[in-house]
Homo-oligomer: A and B are copies of this chain.
Amino acid sequence: MKKPIPDIVIGRLPVYLRALQHMMDAGRSVTSSQELGERLGISAAQIRKDLSQFGEFGKQGTGYTIEFLAQQIQAILKIEKVWEIALIGAGDMGNALAAYQGFNQRGFHISKIFDSDPNKIGKQIGDYKVLNIESMESEIKKANIKIAMLAVPASVAQEVTDKLVDAGIKAILNYAPVSINVPEGVRKQYIDPAVHLQRMSYYLK
């Protein structure tokens, strides 16, 4: 049996992919582990080692064809298809996410939005009508949605998480500033602006 690839390596692939897509947007066609490394603050050796876990994507001395490498990473990350997402919470953050232009072409599409507030249920947000959170489990099961974004108040984040897990959700992106517990087999990630700010404050005088 093959050893599973460490999650920290998986976590770097989307960052490589984003850099490759920025290069493509700028009209570039070839890059190197050195250039990628300099852009990302990661050593070239680390990038080569990470990519070598999945196959041979470049040639010594000629570097990587950006489009090909991007396609390979997309395939590894299973985003050649588009994943439907359930968004929970139609407050300011939910509205911002519903309007966010960064999901298209990166493998994701918000499919349904839920809230518990009677003043929000039934309201139109862009293309979406806000659904009653009471119907969340049945709607998610019916549509076979596997990914959810959690934009609810911290106080209810765990309760909603438990319901999402019951509904068959396997990956949760949590915007609430609170830790959530999920059972084995369910992935979680946090959107945590403080982590990014702290990474920069280190360098400030």
Name A residues whose Cβ lies closer than 8 Å to a Cβ of B.
6-8, 10-11, 13-15, 17-18, 22, 25, 41-43, 46, 76-79, 83, 85, 91-93, 95-97, 99-103, 106-108, 146-147, 149, 151, 154, 170-171, 173, 177, 179, 187, 189-204
Contacts and interface: CB of A to CB of B under 8 A. Distances in A.
A96 B92 contact: yes
Contacts of A77: 198-199, 201-202
25 contacts: A10-B203, A11-B199, A14-B194, A18-B195, A76-B202, A78-B202, A78-B204, A79-B198, A79-B201, A83-B197, A83-B204, A92-B96, A92-B99, A93-B96, A100-B177, A102-B192, A103-B197, A106-B198, A108-B201, A146-B204, A147-B200, A147-B201, A149-B193, A171-B201, A173-B200
Contacts of A190: 18, 196
Contacts of A97: 193
